[in-house]
């Protein structure tokens, strides 16, 4: 019945030409099942090639092709140069989009014009001046195919059949470094072992017509070029996050229209995307609100009802509830309806059925929230403890990293967006060893540096968790003396205390050894920054000695000529010092009675840093933080403008002070919390999921978690204003009620279907580290949300950070506390 209806609606809605690609109001080419975007997302240069830009194809709902642009390499890596978009022109009459791009490093300009031609687009590359001599034979037009959507599928080049390989095993050659186009800021992604040669992949196939995925109509694309040779490469030969690349090298000495491709993505006739039923994978406690959000193709006609099915203990199923489906409306490219089954309170195993779509099963049970933080505290956090050997059962997660310590960074402009100015602001000379920094601290995220700001956040988050909830959980053995961590081995000390101690050990060492806080302790060379594998093998553990030749080790075996030692970036930032002073004061309070010596050191550094930072700030212009503090105060006392966003930003700080203040302070907050309660409800109108959804190039889980934490605390202190039912909003979102798919964003947490791949340091294994929280839904302009669960490598959607994951621990601890009351 539904299918007949759909077909009818689809046919009725179809204009005569809708089989052809049309340029739509959002400035991309569209036909049912196919979107071709032309620089809706341009290369932003921040982290260079983020595999998110240029000409992109969203094919039957999945972004499978990107990177369409003039590029300088057969298989560009993250730090290869990307073009700057200098102009983008949409010509509605011609049905075309023209993009001008430029490489400043080579004074090289090109233009690409994409024009709809029936079911295909024509891509034409124009040059006003010939390719610069240095790039002749290197610059070409590239487009990239997502490996996880194409591997094991067939392709046909000029009639020759082949299959995309699951793993990169094609052939390579080496060429002199002098022939390699410059990489980002002159850094090198590779260690050539003294050969002065770089590796260049050879093509898998060459010809004039390529059909990819001849065995899969949802992925099939035909690319034809009469005037240029098409070469197909495997980008994974150089970097595990590489894509399959199709390219044509630009001809030498020519101008005008130099390359023309015809690209025809196959569309499944009358394709309608399968409904995505968003619900909480961990399940629901009996009394909480239970609302599934169903994401529908715009051409899909909403059904009138949905059903909640119960799986009985004898394995048979029965209908538990049938209810109306209520329309919410459109949000970006899809249409949303909701199914409320809150009335079902009987504990049991259930699934949702909407038309032909069934979800996996989930629980309704009083205990579903009990374990939500365990994977994060027992597994993810200890694995990210730096300067320790970390083991679990038969597996060693990593050996002890960075035994040689950290060198004073020289003046530099860094690849991970750090900077060291001309002055070190320390007593150390550039490249001099700063003693005592290789202790404590947590790996930032998918990389292995110590971001000081994030590490301060981590300690703050653990202190907040400890002071409010005193979690006694002890599943981790930590010996600072042995520099040894073992998962699942209790040692009599609550783990959270040990995590606080571990974070403070590094931060206090920074204050003591450097005199103030380093902005970061990070890699000195790009070719070990992208390290995937055991953290202990990032550096050689030997002190760098520039008097030794590269790859040479001193006779005593203690020094080497490898410039791989990590650097401390030490420019003084009084506001960072103030943050550290704040966290040291709280840490001294918490550590007293557990590690008195460290508590005293922390207090001493807190006092010194605070007075020095205040003095420094007094000397410099009045800091932004002070101005902000005054604005906050105005707003609290009713003299500011007090809009919702301000309420949201400030309320958490105000709530955190309640335990330290009197009853009058709390009463004064009441109107603010009332405003916040309205702010919470405002999200029901903003989007179908009722949480703040971020549209930046890092998906918005941190904002969602912040929101969740504040809602939880507001409920804890003002349960009459912020009602208990509000605390489940963020849980629902995290555990599966969100756009694109319905998997839990927390690794291993979520009954049946947590996400399976994350951008952790084991991402090359297409795996995860338990307890990691993904950034979530990455927004691609102009209207597409995305979270790949078969491709871990896009950090903006799949990388969990140490600050975010410890935020999650607060969120989860508070939620458990509320649920258990």
Interface with Ca ion by CB under 5 A: which residues? 404, 444, 447, 449, 474, 476, 491, 493, 495, 539-540, 542, 564-565
Q: Which residues contact 706 (CB under 8 A, 6 or more apart)?
A: 652, 807
Q: Which residues contact 305 (CB under 8 A, 6 or more apart)?
A: 322, 323, 324, 325
Cα separation, 565 vs 433, in Å, equals: 9
Cα separation, 512 vs 510, in Å, equals: 6
Q: From the CB of 526, what's the least distance to Ca ion, in Å?
A: 13
Residue number, 99 or 385, with CB nearest to Ca ion: 385
Closest CA to 89 of 106, 74, 111: 111
Q: From the CB of 818, what's the least distance to Ca ion, in Å?
A: 26
Cα separation, 801 vs 776, in Å, equals: 12
Cα separation, 138 vs 251, in Å, equals: 10
Residue number, 539 or 586, with CB nearest to Ca ion: 539
Residue number, 83 or 440, with CB nearest to Ca ion: 440
Residue number, 145 or 529, with CB nearest to Ca ion: 529
Q: From the CB of 553, what's the least distance to Ca ion, in Å?
A: 10
Residue number, 147 or 561, with CB nearest to Ca ion: 561
Residue 25 exposed, middle or buried by CB count within 10 Å (0-12, 13-18, 19+): exposed
Cα separation, 452 vs 238, in Å, equals: 31
DSSP string of 271-302, one letter each residue: --PPPEEE--TT-B-TTS--EEEEEE-TTSPP
Q: From the CB of 809, what's the least distance to Ca ion, in Å?
A: 15
HEC profile for 344-380? CCCCEEEEEEECCEECCCEEECCCCCCCCCHHHHHHH
Q: From the CB of 381, what's the least distance to Ca ion, in Å?
A: 11
Q: From the CB of 403, what's the least distance to Ca ion, in Å?
A: 9
- 378: tokens are 């027992």
Provide the CB-side half-sphere exposure for 558 (13 A, CA).
2
- Quick one: DSSP state of residue 740? S
Closest CA to 767 of 479, 532, 461: 532
Residue number, 30 or 564, with CB nearest to Ca ion: 564
**Between β-strands 120-127 and 140-145, what pairing exists: parallel, antiparallel or unpaired?**
unpaired
Q: From the CB of 498, what's the least distance to Ca ion, in Å?
A: 5
Residue 727: what are its φ and ψ, rounded to 5°? -70, -10
- Please state the separation of Cα 723 from the chain's center in Å: 32
Residue number, 542 or 810, with CB nearest to Ca ion: 542
**Residue 340: Cβ within 10 Å count:** 16
Q: From the CB of 22, what's the least distance to Ca ion, in Å?
A: 43
Q: From the CB of 727, what's the least distance to Ca ion, in Å?
A: 29
List, in sequence order, every beta strand (DSSP E) within 2-136: 22-23, 29-31, 34-38, 55-59, 62-71, 84-91, 96-103, 108-117, 120-127
Closest CA to 793 of 148, 292, 249: 148
Q: From the CB of 408, what's the least distance to Ca ion, in Å?
A: 15
Cα separation, 151 vs 138, in Å, equals: 26
Question: At CB < 8 A and 24+ separation, what contacts does 99-106 make?
Answer: 99/38, 99/39, 101/69, 101/70, 103/72, 105/81, 105/182, 106/72, 106/132, 106/134, 106/135, 106/181
> Token match 């039957």: residue?
60
Closest CA to 505 of 549, 552, 450: 450
Q: From the CB of 495, what's the least distance to Ca ion, in Å?
A: 4
Residue number, 144 or 447, with CB nearest to Ca ion: 447
Residue number, 496 or 701, with CB nearest to Ca ion: 496
Give, for 608, the enclosing helix (H) or strand (E). Answer: helix 596-619
- Please state the separation of Cα 8 from the chain's center in Å: 41
- 179: tokens are 């022939």
Q: From the CB of 684, what's the least distance to Ca ion, in Å?
A: 36
Residue number, 216 or 540, with CB nearest to Ca ion: 540
Q: From the CB of 449, what's the least distance to Ca ion, in Å?
A: 5
Contact 733, 292 (CB under 8 A): no
- 726: tokens are 């509000």
- 650: tokens are 């400030």
Cα separation, 456 vs 468, in Å, equals: 18
The CA distances from residue 420 to 429, 430, 455, in Å, are 13, 10, 19
Q: From the CB of 714, what's the least distance to Ca ion, in Å?
A: 32
Cα separation, 383 vs 397, in Å, equals: 7
Q: From the CB of 478, what's the least distance to Ca ion, in Å?
A: 6
Residue number, 138 or 447, with CB nearest to Ca ion: 447
Q: From the CB of 562, what's the least distance to Ca ion, in Å?
A: 6
Residue nearest to Ca ion (CB): 444
Q: From the CB of 377, what's the least distance to Ca ion, in Å?
A: 10
Contact 264, 296 (CB under 8 A): no
Residue number, 297 or 564, with CB nearest to Ca ion: 564
Q: From the CB of 174, what's the least distance to Ca ion, in Å?
A: 26
């Amino acid at each position: 019945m539904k299918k007949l209806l759909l077909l009818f609606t689809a046919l009725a809605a179809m204009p005569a030409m809708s089989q052809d690609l049309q340029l739509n109001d959002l400035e991309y080419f569209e036909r049912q099942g196919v979107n071709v975007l032309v620089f809706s997302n341009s290369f932003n240069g921040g982290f260079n090639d983020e595999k998110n830009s240029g000409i992109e194809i969203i094919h039957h709902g999945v972004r499978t092709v990107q990177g369409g642009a003039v590029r300088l390499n057969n298989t560009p890596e993250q730090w290869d140069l990307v073009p700057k978009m200098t102009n983008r022109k949409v010509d509605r009459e011609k049905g075309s989009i023209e993009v001008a791009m430029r490489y400043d490093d080579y004074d090289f300009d090109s233009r690409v014009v994409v024009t709809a031609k029936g079911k295909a687009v024509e891509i034409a590359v124009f040059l006003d001046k010939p390719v610069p001599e240095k790039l002749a034979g290197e610059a070409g037009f590239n487009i990239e195919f997502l490996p996880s959507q194409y591997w094991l599928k067939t392709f046909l080049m000029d009639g020759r059949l082949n299959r995309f390989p699951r793993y990169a095993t094609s052939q390579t050659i080496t060429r002199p470094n002098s022939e390699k186009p410059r990489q980002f800021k002159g850094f090198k992604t590779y260690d050539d072992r003294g050969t002065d040669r770089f590796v260049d992949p050879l093509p898998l196939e060459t010809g004039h017509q390529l059909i990819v995925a001849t065995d899969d109509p949802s992925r099939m694309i035909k690319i034809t070029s009469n005037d240029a040779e098409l070469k197909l490469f495997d980008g994974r030969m150089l970097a595990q996050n590489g894509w399959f690349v199709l390219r044509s090298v630009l001809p030498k000495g020519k101008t005008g229209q130099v390359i023309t491709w015809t690209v025809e993505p196959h569309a499944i006739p009358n394709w309608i995307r399968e409904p995505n039923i968003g619900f909480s994978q961990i399940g629901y406690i009996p009394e909480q609100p239970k609302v599934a959000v169903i994401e529908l193709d715009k051409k899909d006609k909403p059904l009138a009802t949905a059903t909640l099915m119960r799986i009985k203990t004898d394995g048979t199923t029965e209908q538990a509830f049938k209810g109306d489906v209520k329309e919410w409306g459109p949000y970006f490219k899809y249409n949303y309806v909701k199914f409320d089954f809150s009335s079902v309170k009987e504990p049991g195993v259930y699934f949702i059925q909407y038309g032909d779509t069934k979800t996996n099963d989930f629980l309704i049970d009083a205990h579903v929230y009990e374990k939500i933080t365990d994977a994060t505290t027992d597994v993810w956090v200890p694995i990210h403890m730096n300067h320790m050997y970390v083991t679990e059962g038969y597996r060693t997660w990593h050996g002890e990293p960075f035994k040689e310590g950290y060198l004073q960074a020289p003046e530099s402009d860094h690849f991970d967006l750090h900077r060291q100015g001309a002055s070190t602001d320390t007593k150390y000379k550039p490249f001099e060893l700063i003693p005592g920094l290789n202790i404590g601290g947590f790996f930032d995220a998918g990389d292995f540096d110590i971001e000081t700001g994030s590490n301060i956040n981590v300690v703050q988050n653990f202190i907040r968790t400890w002071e409010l909830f005193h979690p006694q959980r002890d599943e981790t053995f930590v010996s600072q003396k042995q520099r040894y961590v073992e998962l699942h081995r209790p040692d009599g000390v609550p783990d959270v205390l040990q995590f606080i101690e571990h974070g403070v050990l590094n931060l206090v060492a920074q204050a003591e050894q450097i005199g103030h806080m380093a902005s970061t302790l990070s890699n000195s060379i790009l070719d070990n920054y992208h390290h995937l594998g055991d953290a202990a093998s990032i550096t050689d553990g030997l002190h760098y000695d520039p008097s030794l030749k590269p790859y040479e080790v001193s006779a005593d075996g203690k020094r080497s000529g490898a410039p791989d030692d990590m650097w401390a970036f030490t420019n003084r930032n009084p506001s960072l010092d103030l943050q550290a002073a704040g966290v040291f004061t709280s840490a001294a309070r918490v550590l007293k009675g557990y590690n008195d010596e460290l508590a005293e050191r922390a207090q001493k550094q807190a006092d010194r840093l605070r007075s020095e930072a205040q003095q420094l700030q007094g000397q410099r212009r009045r800091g932004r933080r002070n101005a902000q503090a005054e604005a906050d105060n105005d707003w609290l006392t009713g003299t500011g403008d007090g809009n919702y966003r301000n309420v949201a930003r400030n309320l958490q700080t105000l709530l955190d002070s309640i335990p330290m203040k009197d009853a009058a302070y709390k009463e004064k907050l009441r109107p603010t919390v009332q405003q916040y309660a309205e702010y919470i409800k405002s999200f029901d109108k903003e989007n179908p999921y009722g949480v703040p959804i971020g549209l930046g190039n890092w998906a918005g889980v941190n904002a969602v978690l912040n929101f969740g934490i504040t809602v939880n605390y507001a409920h804890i202190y003002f349960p009459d204003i912020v009602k208990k039912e509000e605390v489940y909003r963020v849980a629902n979102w995290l555990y599966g009620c969100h756009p694109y798919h319905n998997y839990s964003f927390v690794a291993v947490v979520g009954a049946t279907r947590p996400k399976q791949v994350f951008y952790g340091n084991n991402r090359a294994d297409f795996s995860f580290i338990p307890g990691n929280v993904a950034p979530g839904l990455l927004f691609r302009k102009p209207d597409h949300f995305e979270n790949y669960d078969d491709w871990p490598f896009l950090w903006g959607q799949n990388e969990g950070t140490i600050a975010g994951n410890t935020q999650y621990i607060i969120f989860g601890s508070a939620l458990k506390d509320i649920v258990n009351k």
